[in-house]
Structure 1
Amino acid sequence: MASRINAWIEDELAGCRLADERLGRRLSTLLDQMAGAMGDSIPLACQDWADTKAAYRFFANERVSKVDILSGHLDSTRRRVAATSGPILVI
């Protein structure tokens, strides 16, 4: 299961346009932590103070925007839609 989640995260982040590689690795780590604690708060998902603080610093970083974070997901979504010939449900 963990390898499936990691593969999904890599696919979703492939098109991300973050300022540098370290930010991309931090985003990947955050998604991995949050995937295991869907719906939980950041402190519960991160499980310790150091990881929680790193998450808040990532989201407060001036070099990271919502557009940067979502760019990879939007690219992945476009690829999935283009590969589908049937109806697409948007909920």
Structure 2
Amino acid sequence: KEQQGFAKFMLGMIDAMDMKLTLKSGGELEMEATTPSMSKDKKAKTETKKGTWKAEGETITLSADDKELECKLEEKKLECESGKKKDPPMVFIKQG
């Protein structure tokens, strides 16, 4: 039960994160993740990572920190999975 509670807590934290993905020309990417603070006295923490992306057919592969996400583009949504069961899928929605 303790593991289930922790897993639910972590999924809640992931849901509360604000992530911004920018795919730049030339195959560069920038991902910005803002995690809310668990304390009222602390500000949210923002972390930026740089990496690369490439498109092959209908698949877009994002790479950063020696990790890869395989993504499918559907209209304005980019649906990504790492291929590992423990990692939750990620969905990026185009703004504007």
TM over 0.5: no
TM-score (norm 2): 0.25
Structure with higher strand content:
2
Relative to its length, the structure with more helix (as a share) is: 1
Q: TM-score, normalised by structure 1?
A: 0.26
Higher relative contact order, structure no. (Cα contacts within 8 Å, ≥ 6 residues apart): 1
